[in-house]
Chains A and B, each alone.
Chain A
């Protein structure tokens, strides 16, 4: 089980409303990722679901049971914190066994479950160490282990990988996805790293200032961003947003085109510009093009993706051709025109 439904949930800290009325449906077994800029209320939303914060109004249902007033322990959810929140004076074994001990399981049963979880997470050799004697990745796994043994209805992760270095982050990302495949338990995952969001999610929830901007699968968000905010937030490098006369040609207030949907050429094209910085990644090269006269934001800069061989020098003239099929149009309220 693991259906979670939020209806008209709001949260205020004093006079400040952090979450305006919000509805959200999370279905059994889904991997849901909350993304959004810093301070948009992702953690707050997660903590509301966990029960660590009380909702100001609205209702939270978990598995068709009203959980709005239930204390955290009774909701059957497990949380992995950004700081891991391991108990420093307990061994790894005791850390993982803690929820079982609190639930009053007998010793043999506790040991069996801890061993099983440790095996899944490659922690068997570290069971008798203290958290202080582990690396960041291992601590992360202990925190996950402590969540797994409870066999919760859903896992909640609050930026669990943000304290790890880049290489480890990729590894742990795969491990968590793997875990989701195996357990098929609902997971709610908070991050502001959109690569994590795109690669792991079944469903992404894009938040801005507590509002849900769009809910959908990663590809849905990529191909059909509902508004300018989502268009600019999802995708790396960012979508080029163009307004003014060029947009008016397409009967829109703003148009957007992703760097990968622009073709660059030295001879001919639709838009002309001057090459600025080129970022060579080997497989691809991202070229920043200036002076296109397209009124792109304040910097007047368009990013274009070319293949790695493209040889463009700073100051060269370059021509860009958008893929018209992939052009996104937005009206004066910033909403997508279909």
Chain B
């Protein structure tokens, strides 16, 4: 029985953890908020006067901001599309019985265990490098000019790298969901005259809706803050072509030593992430309590 006493006791007992988490979040957030209102540049030591919205004004009117915002959305959207579609297809494939199923399933999960910097470097140097890379080799093998991925299509290349990392996660969740589909439902649909595509769109996809929602929500949270992959491959360039918000904040606060501007950017990024989160929850959250 959940009496008032036990509820009060429960609150009391989780409070240290909650307080710790709160402090963990509140202190940096408060400091960032504070810094974002100062003119605080490490190259100009001295007084750090309070300047109010000035940093925000600079950050939001900087043309780099719009570019970074668009890049962030493209990056998140692109990776989501690739991983969800790819995850469903791979899930369907892996759900079929075939020889060596167990090993193949483990192999599919493997990319998830490789840390982002390492995988990005592997992609950069071993696959996409225009001189030594595997892709360059393949291009040359069929007599084409090697394509310099990171210079000519930087954002697309990063989307590719990040998708490769997240595809296993999506596949794993969607495969599990597929396996939980009652086989009698598929048989009933078959008897009702549904072909493969009808079965997929009318039975499987609705069944997967919840799992897809989970994949999208979780991935979005992580994809909004992609950083390492950009740092080790393109450094946000050429120009701003592969700079997302996270990278822009980094560039402004640490490359230009402008703590105030960087902090303002960080706050803007936090607000944008929350807007995206609310938007997503609204849009697909109804799937979760169906």
User: Interface of A with B (CB < 8 Å)?
Assistant: 50-52, 71-73, 77-79, 81-83, 85-90, 98-99, 102-103, 146, 150
Is residue B62 within 8 Å, beta carbon to beta carbon, of the partner chain? no
Q: Does the CB pair B191–A73 fall under 8 Å?
A: yes
For the complex, give the distance between the alpha carbons of A81 and B186 in Å.
11
Is residue B49 within 8 Å, beta carbon to beta carbon, of the partner chain? no
For the complex, give the distance between the alpha carbons of A81 and B182 in Å.
12
Given A73-B192, A103-B193: A89 and B187 interface contact (C-beta under 8 Å): no
Q: Does the CB pair A85–B188 fall under 8 Å?
A: yes
For the complex, give the distance between the alpha carbons of A103 and B191 in Å.
11
Q: Does the CB pair B192–A98 fall under 8 Å?
A: yes
For residue B194, which residues in chain A have a CB less than 8 angstroms away from its CB?
73, 98, 102
Q: Does the CB pair A99–B190 fall under 8 Å?
A: no
For the complex, give the distance between the alpha carbons of A99 and B189 in Å.
8
For the complex, give the distance between the alpha carbons of A77 and B188 in Å.
11
A207 CB to nearest B CB, Å: 21
For the complex, give the distance between the alpha carbons of A206 and B74 in Å.
65
23 A–B pairs (Cβ distance < 8 Å), ordered by A? A52-B187, A72-B187, A72-B190, A73-B190, A73-B191, A73-B192, A73-B194, A81-B188, A83-B182, A85-B182, A85-B185, A86-B185, A87-B202, A87-B206, A88-B207, A89-B206, A89-B209, A89-B290, A90-B206, A98-B189, A98-B192, A102-B192, A102-B198
Mask: chain B, 227-247; 1 = CB below 8 Å from A; 0 = not:
000000000000000000000
Name the interface size band of chain B: 10 to 19
B267 CB to nearest A CB, Å: 41
A81 CB to nearest B CB, Å: 5
Q: Does the CB pair A150–B182 fall under 8 Å?
A: no
Is residue B184 within 8 Å, beta carbon to beta carbon, of the partner chain? yes
Q: Does the CB pair A146–B192 fall under 8 Å?
A: yes
The number of inter-chain residue pairs (CB within 8 angstroms) is 59
Q: Does the CB pair B185–A87 fall under 8 Å?
A: yes
B65 CB to nearest A CB, Å: 42
A307 CB to nearest B CB, Å: 46
* Interface of B: prevailing SS: helix
Most chain A beta-carbon contacts within 10 A, residue among B184, B193, B290: B193
User: Interface of B with A (CB < 8 Å)?
Assistant: 182, 184-185, 187-194, 198, 202-203, 206-207, 209, 290
B47 CB to nearest A CB, Å: 63
For the complex, give the distance between the alpha carbons of A99 and B194 in Å.
8
Q: Does the CB pair B192–A99 fall under 8 Å?
A: yes
For residue A82, which residues in chain B have a CB less than 8 angstroms away from its CB?
184
For residue A77, which residues in chain B have a CB less than 8 angstroms away from its CB?
191
Among B191, B198, B202, B207, the residue within 8 A (CB) of A79 is B191
For residue B207, which residues in chain A have a CB less than 8 angstroms away from its CB?
88-89
For residue B187, which residues in chain A have a CB less than 8 angstroms away from its CB?
52, 72, 79, 81, 85
For the complex, give the distance between the alpha carbons of A218 and B198 in Å.
42
For residue B189, which residues in chain A have a CB less than 8 angstroms away from its CB?
87, 98
B199 CB to nearest A CB, Å: 10
For the complex, give the distance between the alpha carbons of A71 and B184 in Å.
16
For the complex, give the distance between the alpha carbons of A51 and B192 in Å.
12
For residue B184, which residues in chain A have a CB less than 8 angstroms away from its CB?
81-83, 85
Looking across the interface, which residue of chain A has its beta carbon closest to that of B209? A89
Given A85-B182, A87-B202, A87-B203: A79 and B188 interface contact (C-beta under 8 Å): yes
For the complex, give the distance between the alpha carbons of A238 and B188 in Å.
36
Given A87-B203, A102-B198: A73 and B185 interface contact (C-beta under 8 Å): no
For the complex, give the distance between the alpha carbons of A20 and B198 in Å.
36
Looking across the interface, which residue of chain B has its beta carbon closest to that of A77? B191
For the complex, give the distance between the alpha carbons of A82 and B202 in Å.
21
For residue B198, which residues in chain A have a CB less than 8 angstroms away from its CB?
102
For the complex, give the distance between the alpha carbons of A125 and B269 in Å.
51
Q: Does the CB pair B206–A72 fall under 8 Å?
A: no
For residue A99, which residues in chain B have a CB less than 8 angstroms away from its CB?
192-193
For the complex, give the distance between the alpha carbons of A52 and B184 in Å.
10
Looking across the interface, which residue of chain B has its beta carbon closest to that of A51? B191
For residue A51, which residues in chain B have a CB less than 8 angstroms away from its CB?
191
Among A52, A86, A88, the residue within 8 A (CB) of B190 is A52
A256 CB to nearest B CB, Å: 39
Most chain B beta-carbon contacts within 10 A, residue among A50, A51, A85, A90: A85
For the complex, give the distance between the alpha carbons of A90 and B206 in Å.
9
A312 CB to nearest B CB, Å: 48
Looking across the interface, which residue of chain B has its beta carbon closest to that of A82? B184
For the complex, give the distance between the alpha carbons of A103 and B192 in Å.
8
Q: Does the CB pair A78–B191 fall under 8 Å?
A: yes
For the complex, give the distance between the alpha carbons of A307 and B27 in Å.
86
B77 CB to nearest A CB, Å: 26
Q: Does the CB pair A73–B188 fall under 8 Å?
A: no
For the complex, give the distance between the alpha carbons of A102 and B209 in Å.
22
A162 CB to nearest B CB, Å: 14
A165 CB to nearest B CB, Å: 21
For the complex, give the distance between the alpha carbons of A146 and B182 in Å.
18
